[in-house]
Structure 1
Amino acid sequence: MKFPSTLKKMIKKKLRDSVPSLTLDSSDKELISTIRERTIALNKNNVTRTQAYLDFYTRHPEVHWAFLAHLVSRNAGWNMTDLKGEFIPRLLTGKEQVDFFVFLERGNWLIFQDAYPQLLLFEESKKRGIPLFHLLSFFNVSLFMEPFWQYYWAYKDKSIMTVALIINEQNYIEERVIHNHQYKNTVLDTISFKLQDLFDMNQILFPYYTPIQNQPKVVGDTVHHFSSLNDRIMTGKILYQLLYSVESRYHSILDWAKTHPHTGSRGDYWPHIFHDVKETIPGAAHQPQARPCDPERKSPRIYSPKLMQVWEDWIHSKAETGDWFKDMKVIRHFKNPLKHHKGDIVDNYCETIEKLELAALTKKMFFKRPE
């Protein structure tokens, strides 16, 4: 991706200049208050924020990041409900399940409260016909983002805008979640989290229908090193490429998303394999299948509950203050070459299910669990 010299100058100027003091008129004050209220109301839980991204994208399909965020947020919800699903409760203690949930929920909540005001400011800018991005600082949005929104307003470069939002949100959670001592001690430094790489449990899936299939296919990618900022940004760029590189598939993914409201259950996309009602006999272990993704499987489906069935809304402390943007080195993320990625992930994901089925049945020490 060739980085525009005009934009580079805008970013340097923003980094060099101090934040100007702005005098707000009553209209600006009312807008800021309204955006804050709407963001808080829709940031209630993973289900509400995931739907909010899709609703915004439906209104403004030129903002590619919003649909990408919707799909990634769906995956966060599936990871949250996995913690109360068929297998993970047999491998983690109750405290570990809560720790993992809070880790996932905090990141999902933080990104929304940072990104959604940006989206609403863009929406209001379109409505008024003038850019309002000078107001971003009132939502504690990084200085990094204003030049990109201004550039997007002028040049409509969807790809650069999307990558900028990917970079911003991953940097935004870097200190607040990834390097937060609370989550490092309870999640990121635990054997159970590190072994997710062994299990390849960090898949991000995009379901879609093809004309000849009754059950949706999935494409996606695996995050092998979640604690690595560079890897998370690269994964975001790969997912963006997958989502928009094949137009027919993009429309199929969008159609699927619009016709399948997010519940947090994996039964949303594979109801022949997952169900939000437990089908195994109480106290009995789910029997592993040689081919867990076989559409003709006869065994009970894998329990994958809806989010609202198993997790109450979490009350968050205020977001930590501070701006991650310190220098121009971040521009390298726009220049790093991106290899073509086919998104073939079905075999990998089905293998993950096999591993989890076997681990849950044998209760071997794939995960560290106290006696």
Structure 2
Amino acid sequence: MKEESRIFDLFKNLPTELKPIKKALQQKETDYNNLTDHEVELVQSIKERTKKNNINNITRTQAYLDFFKKYPDIEWAFLAHMVSRNAGWNMTDLKGSLLSRLMSKEQQEYFFAFLERSNWLIFQDAFPQLLLYEESLRKNQNYFYLLRQFGVSYFMKVMWDHYYQTRDSNLITVALIINEQNYIEDRVIQNKDYQATLLESLEFKLQEILQLNQILFPFSDGKEVKLIGQSVHQFASLKDRILLGKRLYQLLFDDEFFSDIYEMALKQPHSGSRKDYWPHIFNNINESPPDVPFQESLKACQLKPGANRLYSPTLEHAWKNVEQKPSEHGDWYSDWKVIHYLQKDPSKINGAIYEEYCESLEKIELAILAKGPMSK
């Protein structure tokens, strides 16, 4: 409530730098129906490139990183890369040695469908924006009027136009955070199919309590891999997801952590397995015989003597590629007051998450034991 009050108190005193954005958002969008041959070809090329890279979580995650390497001013691309790594880990957790013992195959498939749809939707909306920025730089011409050809919100046209003039990396990153969370709000979060099977289910609340509620940024200090991150609370709340995104952005690009996280991301390709960051705890090969009853493996994020590593499969071995139906039509933007989320929070973010993550793993093991001897 305190954070909500702080945001809406700002309605009374709009910062000067946001006033031109407010003015642009209040204007009606101009129609661009008569495209030139070059524009038609450009739109088609971007659609093809987006589809090619939107096959699965691995291809999306790599595409974000490749773009950031070329255009490091678009910081959202690296944030999207790291969050997408976490989405992949959550997908494979469903088939790993822990959650697979707590969830039925049907529940696993529901959760995967929820994660995959969200991951796919965000990419197919955001990647054309990134590619139009690339073309605008290449031709030294603003091409963001073509965003409507991809169903992108008018809000983002205004924000990209502003960025093209100001090169304010913080504003465009937070704008993309606002956009992506609003984009999936009606399409996934409030979608009745997912509401019925996931968000209102006991199982989804269980995952918030257990493992799917932490977003981790691994990095090496030269001796060991450490973790920083944030916990997800009230995932069904649009406001909380936007504020979480802003905290993650601030944490990821903190001078204390960014270079080490980026270096590890470059060195360690994303496979979907948690072995990517903690091979001493996780393995992408199942070390436990199938008929042996489950036993606790962990204490304070260390394997107990004689214990096998936890099974964390690669995405390739956990899930098949999914052919997604086209995104639902419609522009989420309706009220200029959403720009108050664009303002920076001056407080430093506490990214300590190691102990909480370790406790989550141990809680899951206890939940499996409580389920009884059938947990194999």
TM range (shorter): over 0.9
Q: Could you list the per-position Cα deviations for residues 62-84 of structure 1 after superposition, in whole angstroms to 9, with x for gaps in the alignment?
A: 10000000000000000000000
Structure 2 partner of 1:305: 313
Structure 2 partner of 1:277: 285
1:330 positional shift: 0.7
1:246 positional shift: 2.0
AA partner of residue 221 (structure 2): T
Q: Identify the match of residue 193 of structure 1 among 204, 208, 218.
A: 204
Structure 1 partner of 2:3: none
> Are the counterparts in 1 of residues 111 and 198 from structure 2 also a CA contact under 8 Å?
yes
Q: Could you list the per-position Cα deviations for residues 270-329 of structure 1 after superposition, in whole angstroms to 9, with x for gaps in the alignment?
A: 000000001112222342145151278641100000001010001111100000100112
What are the within-5 Å matches in structure 2 for residues 74-89 of structure 1?
A: 74-89=85-100
Q: Identify the match of residue 216 of structure 2 among 202, 205, 218.
A: 205
Q: Identify the match of residue 328 of structure 1 among 317, 330, 336.
A: 336
- Confirm or deny that 1:245 pairs with 2:254: yes
Q: Distance in 2 between matches of 1:287 and 1:296?
A: 10
AA partner of residue 229 (structure 1): L
Q: Identify the match of residue 38 of structure 1 among 18, 39, 49.
A: 49
- In structure 2, the residue corresponding to 1:315 is in which secondary structure? coil
Q: Identify the match of residue 221 of structure 1 among 230, 243, 252.
A: 230
Q: Distance in 2 between matches of 1:150 and 1:57?
A: 20
Q: Distance in 1 between matches of 2:152 and 2:60?
A: 18
Structure 2 partner of 1:367: none
Aligned length: 362
1:21 positional shift: 3.1
Q: Distance in 1 between matches of 2:293 and 2:352?
A: 30
Q: Distance in 2 between matches of 1:237 and 1:188?
A: 23
Against the structure 1 CA distance between its residues 156 and 336, is the aligned structure 2 distance closer, same or farther, given a 3 Å change threshold? closer
Structure 1 partner of 2:165: 154
1:150 positional shift: 1.2
1:338 positional shift: 5.8
- Confirm or deny that 1:342 pairs with 2:350: yes
Against the structure 1 CA distance between its residues 129 and 339, is the aligned structure 2 distance closer, same or farther, given a 3 Å change threshold? same
Q: Distance in 1 between matches of 2:166 and 2:336?
A: 21
Structure 1 partner of 2:240: 231
Q: TM-score, normalised by structure 1?
A: 0.93
278-287 or 294-303: bigger deviation: 294-303
Q: Distance in 1 between matches of 2:217 and 2:274?
A: 12
AA partner of residue 311 (structure 2): Y
- Confirm or deny that 1:257 pairs with 2:265: yes
> Are the counterparts in 1 of residues 211 and 361 from structure 2 also a CA contact under 8 Å?
no
Structure 2 partner of 1:106: 117
Q: TM-score, normalised by structure 2?
A: 0.92
- In structure 2, the residue corresponding to 1:320 is in which secondary structure? coil
330-339 or 280-289: bigger deviation: 330-339
Against the structure 1 CA distance between its residues 362 and 331, is the aligned structure 2 distance closer, same or farther, given a 3 Å change threshold? same
> Are the counterparts in 2 of residues 201 and 352 from structure 1 also a CA contact under 8 Å?
no
Q: Identify the match of residue 132 of structure 1 among 143, 146, 151.
A: 143
> Percentage identity across aligned positions?
48
Q: Could you list the per-position Cα deviations for residues 162-181 of structure 1 after superposition, in whole angstroms to 9, with x for gaps in the alignment?
A: 00000000000000000000
1:19 positional shift: 3.4
- Confirm or deny that 1:58 pairs with 2:66: no
Q: Distance in 1 between matches of 2:274 and 2:300?
A: 14
1:221 positional shift: 0.2
Q: Distance in 1 between matches of 2:203 and 2:237?
A: 17
Q: Identify the match of residue 120 of structure 1 among 131, 138, 143.
A: 131
Structure 1 partner of 2:178: 167
Q: Distance in 2 between matches of 1:219 and 1:20?
A: 45
> Are the counterparts in 2 of residues 7 and 151 from structure 1 also a CA contact under 8 Å?
no
192-201 or 71-80: bigger deviation: 192-201
> Are the counterparts in 2 of residues 11 and 144 from structure 1 also a CA contact under 8 Å?
no
Q: Distance in 1 between matches of 2:343 and 2:293?
A: 49
- In structure 2, the residue corresponding to 1:263 is in which secondary structure? coil
AA partner of residue 228 (structure 1): S
1:333 positional shift: 1.4
- Confirm or deny that 1:362 pairs with 2:364: no
- In structure 1, the residue corresponding to 2:187 is in which secondary structure? helix
Q: Distance in 2 between matches of 1:106 and 1:242?
A: 26
Q: Could you list the per-position Cα deviations for residues 11-32 of structure 1 after superposition, in whole angstroms to 9, with x for gaps in the alignment?
A: 4334431432342111111100
